[in-house]
């Protein structure tokens, strides 16, 4: 449908699909062997919306979603959008330290979670650690001093857990909400209301809640869907995680605005992805380069019919030309595109076009999306630069976030007085308006598509009793793009400390992908004359020691 920025709300699109595409398949899962039509999908989302209302969530209230790509995630995303609660997405790799921070900073009053991703009960163990009071209270009546806003925990499973609602309870509670009350709530929503918050790390070491509106998400999804040429005739396989904008905007939202079928994969596995592509005749497939590499390797060992594939998005890190050629030649996705963006931009800023030549699709991140402004500026003077001059990439338009939650100063640092988002990425633009990302102003590490800010790891490891100082850098990795390397200066009375001791300290406290792969113990750091630590020298040393692995 045509999205009218400033007027259309996410629920409007879901309901229009139910009217116009009622019998088309909206959602299909290979793992659960089910399909839901647009009419059925709309009805389930309304049940979830009413359930959240019955739970007491008002317009603008925050709830956190901690689960992998299972059906309830999608229902919660679009159900909450119908009744105005703000979905706070939680990284599935999070552990106790990170979860407690997110729940506290976001003021979430409800947490919806699965039992675990890698093991059936890993999240439940974290909850025992973060919320020991839960076992002693009735569902919906949690009281905890460290998280004063949190009242409800909802479990996506059938097991009965003390103090916790089940998902089925939520649906049942929704039956007490009248259609009139539900309609009144829907009528109160505005397109510029914040409807989703995603946490992105920063150089301060404290993740920031990016506030995104209906208009941010719908407009951006429509632009990217049109660039891919998605229609109701398409089926999009989504193996990238929903907690990222890649999954829940470039994935589920692009499908919804175009009327295409969503085909999520609960947790990435190349066999499952390729089987789903074959079974549902998927015409589009998303992934970071490491996912496509794994899929191509699987196709070397087994036969899959990917002949219907046409397009999709590869994003998250630089696309190697041999991977792009493999996806086009072997998988058949001749119109695969590259998207560049960041969460603060909902997320898309630029995208290659379906008919771009190979060099544009592998050496650039394409042109600005429709109705999006992009420029490259001198980081010092803020003057706009000409072709092939490296500077900071900035963007302006409907897609820019409303701000960071409860962090006005950080918002002002990111978005200038003229509305330009300063991405922190170094880029150039050529005569044909194609952008190239050439570096980073910040020390962002991108490991397998996951953005890792060194300062966040440094802040955590500073809490180790033996650590005096620490510097974290990214070094090249053939498999992941980059790996985390930590240089640690120990306190004088620390005694012997091993790499394993440091990693054990990180376990279950920070996400596994942030735990340093390489650890070096140093007596001092290389510095400039003014005392600033020279991270590039640490990076060079690490590369000399371990090479590219």
How far apart, in whole angstroms, are the C-alpha atoms of residue 248 and residue 244? 6
Cβ neighbours of residue 142 closer than 8 Å, sequence gap 6 or more: 131, 133, 134, 150, 151, 152, 153, 163
Residue 490 in tokens: 């120990």
State the average pLDDT for the chain.
93
pLDDT at 529: 45
Residue 115 in tokens: 């039992």
Residue 220 has pLDDT above 60, yes or no: yes
Q: Look up the pTM and report it.
A: 0.85
165-166 vs 152-155, strand pairing mode: parallel
Residue 530 has pLDDT above 50, yes or no: no
Residue 148 has pLDDT above 90, yes or no: yes
DSSP 266: S
Q: How many CB atoms lie within 10 A of CB 474?
A: 22
Q: How many CB atoms lie within 10 A of CB 233?
A: 11
pLDDT band per the 50, 70, 90 thresholds, residue 134? very high
Least confident of 15-19, 73-77, 293-297, 527-531: 527-531
Taking a C-beta distance cutoff of 8 angstroms, is the pair 292, 268 a contact? no
**CA nearest 228: which of 120, 106, 139, 310?**
310
CATH number of 10-216+239-257: 3.30.160.40, 3.40.50.12780, 1.20.1050.90, 3.40.50.2300?
A: 3.40.50.12780
Annotate 104-134 with DSSP letters as a single string.
Answer: HHHT-SEEEE-S-SSSTTHHHHHHHHH-GGG
**CA nearest 389: which of 438, 318, 321?**
438
Architecture of the structural domain at 445-546 = 2-Layer Sandwich (3.30)
Phi first, then psi, for residue 478 (nearest 5°) are: -60, -35
Taking a C-beta distance cutoff of 8 angstroms, is the pair 354, 227 a contact? yes
pLDDT band per the 50, 70, 90 thresholds, residue 468? confident
Cβ neighbours of residue 115 closer than 8 Å, sequence gap 6 or more: 121, 122, 123, 124, 155, 156, 157, 159
Residue 428 has pLDDT above 70, yes or no: yes
pLDDT band per the 50, 70, 90 thresholds, residue 533? confident
Residue 183 in tokens: 């309609």
**CA nearest 50: which of 88, 70, 76, 26?**
76
Residue 532 has pLDDT above 90, yes or no: no
Per residue in 469-527, pLDDT tens?
888 999 999 889 999 999 998 988 888 899 999 999 999 999 999 999 999 999 988 87
How far apart, in whole angstroms, are the C-alpha atoms of residue 408 and residue 354? 39
Residue 203 has pLDDT above 50, yes or no: no
DSSP 373: E
pLDDT band per the 50, 70, 90 thresholds, residue 439? low
CA angle (29, 33, 38) in 5-degree steps: 55
Which residue do the tokens 């609960």 mark? 266
Q: How do the domains of the chain map onto residue ranges?
A: 10-216+239-257, 340-440, 445-546
Residue 162 has pLDDT above 50, yes or no: yes
Average pLDDT over residues 42-64: 98
How far apart, in whole angstroms, are the C-alpha atoms of residue 226 and residue 403? 27
How far apart, in whole angstroms, are the C-alpha atoms of residue 444 and residue 454? 7
Taking a C-beta distance cutoff of 8 angstroms, is the pair 443, 538 a contact? no
Q: Three-state SS across 214-248?
A: HHHHHHHHHHHHHHHCCCCCCEEEECCCCCCHHHH
Which residue do the tokens 């699709």 mark? 361
Average pLDDT over residues 362-373: 95
Per residue in 262-279, pLDDT tens?
999 999 999 999 999 999
The size of the chain, in residues, is 549
**CA nearest 313: which of 383, 380, 223, 381?**
223
DSSP 419: S
Cβ neighbours of residue 544 closer than 8 Å, sequence gap 6 or more: none
CATH topology of domain 340-440: Luciferase; domain 3 (2.30.38)
Annotate 470-509 with DSSP letters as a single string.
Answer: EEEEEEEETTTEEEEEEEEEEPTT-----HHHHHHHHTTT
Residue 23 has pLDDT above 60, yes or no: yes
* Percent of the chain residues past pLDDT 90, beyond the cut: 79
Taking a C-beta distance cutoff of 8 angstroms, is the pair 411, 403 a contact? yes
Residue 406 has pLDDT above 70, yes or no: yes
**HSE of 223 in the Cβ direction (CA atoms, 13 Å)?**
24
**CA nearest 84: which of 62, 109, 111?**
62
Cβ neighbours of residue 422 closer than 8 Å, sequence gap 6 or more: 392, 394, 413, 414, 415, 416
Query: 3-state class of 371 per DSSP?
Result: coil
pLDDT at 450: 84
């Amino acid at each position: 449908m045509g999205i009218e920025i400033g007027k259309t709300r996410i629920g409007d699109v879901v309901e229009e699909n139910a009217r116009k595409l009622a019998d088309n398949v909206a959602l299909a899962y290979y793992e659960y062997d089910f399909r839901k039509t647009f009419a059925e999908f709309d009805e389930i989302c309304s049940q979830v919306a009413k359930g959240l209302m019955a739970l007491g969530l008002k317009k603008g209230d925050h709830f956190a979603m901690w689960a992998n790509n299972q059906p309830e995630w999608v229902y919660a995303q679009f159900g909450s959008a119908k009744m105005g609660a703000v979905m706070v997405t939680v990284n599935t790799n999070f552990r106790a330290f990170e979860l407690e921070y997110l729940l506290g900073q976001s003021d979430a009053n409800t947490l919806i979670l699965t039992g675990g991703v890698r093991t059936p009960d890993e999240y439940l163990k974290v909850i025992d650690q973060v919320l020991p009071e839960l076992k002693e209270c009735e569902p919906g009546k949690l009281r905890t001093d460290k998280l004063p806003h949190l009242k409800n925990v909802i479990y996506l499973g059938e097991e009965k857990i003390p103090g916790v609602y089940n998902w089925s309870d939520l649906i049942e509670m929704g039956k007490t909400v009248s259609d009139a009350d539900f309609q009144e709530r829907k009528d109160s929503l505005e397109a510029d209301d914040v409807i989703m918050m995603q946490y992105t790390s920063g150089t301060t070491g404290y993740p920031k809640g990016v506030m995104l509106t209906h208009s941010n998400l719908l407009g951006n999804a429509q632009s990217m869907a049109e660039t891919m040429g998605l229609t109701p005739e398409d089926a999009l396989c989504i193996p990238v995680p929903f907690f990222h904008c890649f999954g829940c905007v470039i994935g589920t939202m692009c499908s919804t605005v175009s009327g295409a079928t969503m085909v999520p994969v609960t947790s990435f596995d190349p066999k499952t992805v390729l089987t789903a592509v074959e079974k549902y005749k998927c015409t589009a497939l998303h992934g970071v380069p490491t996912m496509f590499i794994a899929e191509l390797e699987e196709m070397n060992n087994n036969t899959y019919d990917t002949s219907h594939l046409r397009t999709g998005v590869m994003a998250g890190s630089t696309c190697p030309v041999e991977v792009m050629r493999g996806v086009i030649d072997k998988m058949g996705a001749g119109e695969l595109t590259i998207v560049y963006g960041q969460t603060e931009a909902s997320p898309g800023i630029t995208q290659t076009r379906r008919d771009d030549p190979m060099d544009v699709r592998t050496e650039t991140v394409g042109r600005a999306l429709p109705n999006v402004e992009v420029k490259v500026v001198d980081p010092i003077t803020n003057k706009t630069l000409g072709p092939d001059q490296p500077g900071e990439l900035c963007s302006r338009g409907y897609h820019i976030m409303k701000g960071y939650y409860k962090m006005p100063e950080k918002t002002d640092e990111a978005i200038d007085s003229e509305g330009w988002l300063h991405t922190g990425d170094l880029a150039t633009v050529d005569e044909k308006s194609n952008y190239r990302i050439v570096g980073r102003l910040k020390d962002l590490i991108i490991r397998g598509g996951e953005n890792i800010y060194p300062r966040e790891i440094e802040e955590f490891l500073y809490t180790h009793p033996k650590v005096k100082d620490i510097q974290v850098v990214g070094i090249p990795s053939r498999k992941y793009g980059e790996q985390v390397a930590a240089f640690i200066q120990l306190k004088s009375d620390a005694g012997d400390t091993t790499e394993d001791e440091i990693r054990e300290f990180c376990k279950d406290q920070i996400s596994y992908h942030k735990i340093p792969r390489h650890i070096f113990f140093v007596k001092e750091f290389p510095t400039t004359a003014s005392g600033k630590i020279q991270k590039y020298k640490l990076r060079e040393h690490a590369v000399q020691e371990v090479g590219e692995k």
